[in-house]
Chains A and B, each alone.
Chain A
Amino acid sequence: MGGRDGVGSGLVTAAHVAAADDLPASTRIPLTVIGGFLGAGKSTLLNRLLRDAHGLRTAVLVNDFGQINVDADLVASHDGETISLTNGCVCCSLGGGFTEALLQVLARDPLPQWIVVEASGVSDPGRIAELGIADRRLRLEGVAVLADAARLREQAADSRLAGTVGRQLAAASVIVLNKADLADAPTRTAAREWLSVACPGLPVVEAVQADVPRVLLIDAALPSSRSVGGPAHQEDVAARHDEHEHAHAHVGGDGEHHSAAFDHPFETVSWSFDGVFDADRLKTAIKGLGREVLRLKGWVRTDRHGRTLVQYAGRRLMFEPVAAQSKESGATPSPPSVLVCIGLRGELSPEPLRQALASALLPRAGASESPVLVLDDGCGQP
């Protein structure tokens, strides 16, 4: 692997990884969409996120205000449309529409550190997720769709809900088969099989009482890659949870503990690439990756952006260029592009993924040449 196409060995060295970690993290506020069907446990999950915030000031936007059930001693104030909690979290009503709710949340002082939006069982979570792209103060993390393990197939078979179920699945980054303790093994297996036909490759995890691993919802829990080895760097997250460090400075201390009651390990794979990407082809390549890629992010150089953060989550791609870096000259060697992706353990195939990404690199005329990039800094340009 590597070298064959003349665009870099893909070898990740400690220096490269350290350089990636030193680059400023995105200052955008992560946004996660929680979808799912009636009775799947969305409210249980949302209540849990408000209660166990792990130090993150979380704003939860809900459709069903009546289902929010937080201990009275956690409630600091309640004004009809917003419940403020003593732990810094807020719960806001979506009654006025998504646009209004989001604008209000982003007008708060202090700003939340994580925004979670509930998508009703009959909505299109993909549209809601796009709000994470529509507002440049946000960074879309993904769409988690909850399903009741015992009822999923029956709900999918209800002719009045057919397109509705399809919409949830099409938008999902991951399906959480909740109430796994209430469905026997054959039922759960049948549900998984149905899902694997309906949406091949889509990650499925099981959960009890909506106890969803946070790494599914937000990458603040994603460990930084520290070890090296081989052309591709794979890491088993579950095995390394004791050594977790957080990739982003703004996240509070979070000792992620996986419950012993269930086991759904994740893995990350990272690569480095020398050269410059064709931005449009990179976008097409990333959006064409299989559903098993839960999230992909990194720092890359493209023909249109120069150096830019790229994040792919919730089936949407975002570029966040480094501001005011207008020229690169051949004298200063730039760090290579680094891309990291996360998925369920055993479901990522590193080599096909690497090839798909590498196919978007611009051909290099010669190793010593670095392109001179000039960015237009007119109004509205990145």
Chain B
Amino acid sequence: MSIKIFSARRIWTMNPSRPQATHMAVQEGRVLGVGALDDLTGWGSCEVDDRYADRVLMPGLVEGHCHLPEGGMWQYVYVGYYDRRDPDGRVWPGLRSLADVVARLAERERTLAPGQHLIGWGFDPIFFDAQRMTVRDLDRVSAERPVVIMHASLHLMNVNTAMLACAGIDRDTDIEGVVRFDNGEPNGELQEFAAMYPVVRVIGNVFRSMSGSPDSLRMFGQVARLAGVTTATDLVNELNVDDLDTLARVTAEPGFPVRIVPAASHLAYAGDMAGCLARLDQARAHNHDKLRLGMVKLIVDGSIQGFTARLRWPGYYNGSPNGLWVIAPDELNGVVEAYHRAGVQLHIHTNGDEATAAALDAVEHALRVHPRPDHRHTLQHCQMADAAQFRRMRALGLCVNLFANHIYYWGDVHRAQTMGPERAERMDACATALRHGVPLAVHSDAPITPLGPLFTAWCAVNRLTASGRVLGAEECISVEQAMQAITLGAAYTLNMDDQVGSLEIGKQADFCVLDTDPVEAGGMALKDIGIVDTVVGGEVTTARWWGGATASARAS
């Protein structure tokens, strides 16, 4: 088979044995060699491709914690505070006032057919100070058409009067999450699942079923491609039979631009671990080079900014009561042990440090009763772990995937409300992890924050909050360390470091093409580096490989 040699101004390989190169040979979708041109021509007749000759290449970025709805969300109207790029590359400006949110919704409303609901997403009231969105705002979008905005957290909604009426929510609806005006009438804000349920009944459980459609999956591929991501997780997958068939089929389409690594959701199996394991075995039969099933996801607690994470003493800085266990600490030991014995790799969501402690205890217990080398179990988010907890992670052979993006998006909120100054300064402690030798990755948890590992790396290097404050300079890491975390480091947490994450002989020819050298440009510039192209298995990915319509055309 033919050999193609890509030339570049510089290739950052993430391989310490040969950290930099100018040429890379690719054959059968794999790296045949990396080095100077003379090192590579000995393999046989080859063709030099110099389209990237003055660009910088690095391994395809690996996102170790995100979700497929990052694609499907774009069927609906983005109304978030920050700029965000859609699957077609169009940047939607962030909306800085309630009036701007109304204006964008009204613009989409005009394009909808009679009877269609208007659905928005990504809204976060935390950026609007004391102003809360109410029916008065959304009634300006439409007096007749039911409108709903899903908040970024996915735990709250705002609706207009027409939607309240359709959903049957009124003055008498005795649900705590139905927020009211002083006169007792619902104001359109609905908190948590019981209050949101009547609206879900009207519009369908759309945010839940998002991973099932081919279009949603292709939109995810588009988003990944634009972000230089060549391997991405879907970290909560219910392994539904039909959805898996679709996933296997769409990811196998020639040109699909990203390798998907789902984690089976333990929660979806309602305590039936044997059932989950059996289903996982069947699901693995679908695996191909762009789909890799096998991991299991556990969720131990909630979120810190939602005050549902479990914290150790002294608890939440603003005095909020401690959060919710999703798996009770006494049950966690049994759950971890069962999957651990079965040889599965676990990804364990723990946001608060009490949840992290429970997870550490559970892994320790499992290892004691069933020693297992190189298990690679990974703590996800793990935002409040202290040095002692990182030392335990090291001793137990755990990896950690830290939610570095939180520093930017919620760092100010954490400092002022949830954790207080001292714990906020050591939140998502990347430097501590590295100092103690815990294998490190960093993530976006898209769609909670946008998919974009270079931005995530920028967060880990600079630790700047949205207000411009540096939150804990001692935890900043270097550009090289951050680049490692978004490539080989993340691949290691997915047990795929033998295949992706660095450019060396035998591994997948997955790389991204940058318009700027990250090491030369320095840490502050990381978030502004442009992705010129994304290459998967040696093939340059294209904007619309399946020949379909743009996301925005489809949505109108």
Chain B residues near A380 (CB-CB < 8 A): 164-168, 170
> Of B175, B205, B321, which one neighbours A103 at CB under 8 angstroms?
B205
Cross-chain contact A130 with B177 (CB below 8 angstroms): yes
Per the bound structure, the CA–CA distance linking A345 and B2 in Å amounts to 88
Contacting pair B329 A160 (CB below 8 A): yes
Q: Does A93 contact B (CB under 8 A)?
A: yes
Task: Determine whether the beta carbon of B197 is less than 8 Å from that of A99.
Answer: yes
Q: Tell me whether A47 is interfacial, beta carbon within 8 Å.
A: no
Interface: B374 (CB within 8 A):
no
**Cβ of B322 under 8 Å from chain A:** yes
A316 to B170, Cβ gap below 8 A? Answer: no
Give residues 37-86 of A contacting B (CB, 8 Å): 38, 62-67, 80
Complex interface: chain B residues within 8 A of A63 (CB): 270-271
* Contact call B201/A130, Cβ cutoff below 8 A: no
Query: In the bound complex, how far is the Cα of B190 from the Cα of A247, in angstroms?
Result: 35
Select from chain B the residue with minimum beta-carbon distance to A66.
B272
Q: Is the CB of A99 within 8 A of B200?
A: yes
B201 touches A135 (CB 8 A): yes
Tell me the residues in window 310-347 of chain B with beta carbons closer than 8 Å to chain A beta carbons: 310, 321-331
A205 at the interface (CB under 8 A from B): no
Say if the beta carbon of A318 comes within 8 Å of chain B.
yes
- Total interface residues in chain B, CB < 8 Å: 50
Tell me whether B193 and A316 are in contact (CB under 8 A): no
Contact B275 A134 (CB under 8 A): no
Contact A122/B325 with A103-B201, A134-B198 known, Cβ cut-off 8 Å: yes
User: CB < 8 Å: which of B165, B193, B323 contacts A127?
Assistant: B193
Contact A133 B275 (CB under 8 A): no
Let me know if A93 and B270 touch, CB within 8 A: yes
Once the chains bind, are A99 and B176 in contact (CB under 8 Å)? no
Distance in Å: Cβ of A302 to nearest Cβ of chain B: 10
CB atoms of B197 and A134 under 8 A apart? yes
Check if A64 sits within 8 Å of B325, measured CB to CB: no
What is the chain B residue whose CB lies nearest that of A315? B174
For the complex, give the distance between the alpha carbons of A94 and B269 in Å: 8
Classify the secondary structure of A's interface with B: mixed
B44 CB–A CB distance under 8 Å: no
B53 within 8 A of A: no
With A65-B275, A66-B275, A94-B270: A122-B327 Cβ-Cβ less than 8 Å: yes
- Residues in A whose Cβ lies below 8 Å from that of B100: none
B274 within 8 A of A: yes
Q: Does B354 contact A (CB under 8 A)?
A: yes
Contact between chains at A280 and B184 (CB < 8 Å): yes
Q: How far is the CA of A283 from the CA of B170 in the complex (A)?
A: 14
Whether A252 is near chain B, meaning CB under 8 Å from some CB there, is no
Contact in complex: B238, A95 (CB < 8 Å): yes
- Is there contact, CB below 8 Å, between A95 and B267? yes
Q: Is A288 an interface residue (CB 8 A)?
A: no
Interface members, chain A 125-142 (any B CB < 8 Å)? 126-128, 130-131, 133-136
Give Cα distance in the complex from A126 to B193, angstroms: 12
Residues from chain B with Cβ under 8 Å of A67 in the complex: 271
Chain B residue, CB-CB nearest to A167: B324
B195 & A130 in contact (Cβ 8 Å cutoff):
yes
Q: How far is the CA of A318 from the CA of B176 in the complex (A)?
A: 13
Confirm or deny: B48 has a beta carbon within 8 angstroms of a beta carbon on chain A.
Answer: no
A285 to B74, CA, bound (A): 47
A66 touches B324 (CB 8 A): no
- Establish whether residues B172 and A122, one from each chain, have CB atoms under 8 Å apart when the complex forms: no
Are B172 and A319 in contact, CB atoms less than 8 angstroms apart? yes
Q: Judge whether B556 is part of the interface by a CB distance below 8 angstroms.
A: no
The answer to whether B549 has its CB under 8 Å from any CB of chain A is no
Closest-CB distance, A43 to chain B (whole angstroms)? 10
**Chain A, interface residues (CB within 8 Å), range:** 35 or more
For residue B268, which residue of chain A has the nearest CB?
A95
Given contacts A122-B326, A379-B165, A380-B166, contact A130 B270 (CB under 8 A): no
Q: Assess whether A123 is interfacial by the CB under 8 Å rule.
A: yes
Least CB separation from A102: chain B residue: B197
User: How close is B153's CB to chain A, nearest CB, in angstroms?
Assistant: 16
Q: In the complex where A122-B325, A122-B327, A283-B172 touch, is A99 in contact with B274 (Cβ < 8 A)?
A: no
Is A124 an interface position by the 8 A CB rule?
yes
- The smallest beta-carbon distance between A300 and chain B, in angstroms, is 13
Q: Which of B164, B194, B275 contacts A130 (CB 8 A)?
A: B194
**Complex contacts, B267 vs chain A, CB 8 Å:** 95
Residues in B neighbouring A80, C-beta threshold 8 A? 275
**Is the beta-carbon distance between B274 and A135 smaller than 8 angstroms?**
no
Q: Does B358 contact A (CB under 8 A)?
A: yes
Chain A: minimal CB distance from B76 (Å): 18
Closest chain A residue to B301, Cβ basis: A122
Residue of A nearest to B172 (CB): A319
- In the complex, chain B residues 224-249 whose Cβ is within 8 Å of any chain A Cβ: 238
Interface centre among B175, B184, B268, B358 (most CB of A within 10 A): B175
Q: How far is the CA of A80 from the CA of B329 in the complex (A)?
A: 27
- Report the bound CA distance from A128 to B197 in whole Å: 11
Complex Cα spacing A131 to B195, Å: 8
CA distance A121 to B174 in the complex (A): 24
Contact in complex: A62, B270 (CB < 8 Å) = yes
In the assembled complex, A229 has its CB within 8 A of some CB on chain B: no
Q: Is there a chain A Cβ closer than 8 Å to B173's Cβ?
A: yes
Residues 370 to 425 of chain B near chain A (Cβ within 8 Å): none
Shortest C-beta distance, B321 to chain A (Å), equals 5
Return chain A residues, CB-CB under 8 Å to B275: 65-66, 80
User: A131 touches which one: B171, B194, B271, B329 (CB < 8 A)?
Assistant: B194
Interface string of B176-200 (1 = CB under 8 A from A): 1100000010000000111111101
> Contacts A96-B238, A99-B193; is A134 near B175 (CB within 8 Å)?
yes
Are A64's CB and B271's CB within 8 A? yes
Is B51 an interface residue, CB under 8 A from the partner? no
Is B198 within 8 A of A121, CB to CB? no
Q: Is the CB of B274 within 8 A of A163?
A: no
Tell whether A263 is near chain B: CB-to-CB under 8 Å: no
Bound-complex Cα distance A65 to B324 (A): 22
Question: Which A residue's beta carbon lies closest to that of B241?
Answer: A80
Q: Is B368 located at the chain interface by the 8 A CB criterion?
A: no
Residue of A nearest to B278 (CB): A80
Tell yes or no: B470 within 8 A of A by CB.
no
Which A residues are in CB contact (< 8 Å) with B354?
Answer: 160
Residue pair A38, B195 in contact (C-beta under 8 Å): no
Verify if A164 is at the interface (C-beta below 8 Å from B): yes
The listed residue (A162, A163, A317, A382) touching B174 by CB distance below 8 A is A317
A122, B193: Cβ atoms under 8 Å? Answer: no
Q: Are B193 and A65 in contact (CB under 8 A)?
A: no
Q: Are B197 and A163 in contact (CB under 8 A)?
A: no
Q: What 0/1 pattern do residues 133 to 169 of A give for CB contact below 8 A with B?
A: 1111000000000000000000000001111100000
A121-B194 contact, Cβ under 8 Å, with A93-B270, A95-B268, A133-B173: no
Assess whether B273 is interfacial by the CB under 8 Å rule.
yes
Contacts of B195 in A (CB 8 A): 130, 134
- Ranked 10 nearest A-B pairs via Cβ: A380-B165, A130-B194, A64-B271, A122-B325, A95-B268, A134-B197, A95-B270, A65-B270, A93-B270, A66-B272
List residues of A whose CB falls within 8 A of some B CB: 38, 62-67, 80, 93-100, 102-103, 120-124, 126-128, 130-131, 133-136, 160-164, 279-280, 283, 287, 304, 316-319, 378-382
Other A-B contacts than A160-B354, A163-B323, 7 sampled, CB-CB below 8 A, are: A64-B271, A122-B328, A130-B175, A130-B195, A134-B175, A316-B174, A317-B172
Query: Can you name 18 A-B residue pairings with CB atoms under 8 Å?
Result: A38-B328, A64-B271, A65-B271, A65-B275, A66-B273, A66-B274, A67-B271, A95-B265, A122-B325, A127-B177, A130-B175, A134-B195, A134-B198, A136-B168, A287-B174, A316-B175, A379-B165, A381-B170
Using a CB–CB cutoff of 8 Å, the interface residues on chain B facing chain A are 164-168, 170-177, 184, 192-198, 200-201, 205, 208, 238, 265, 267-275, 310, 321-331, 354, 358
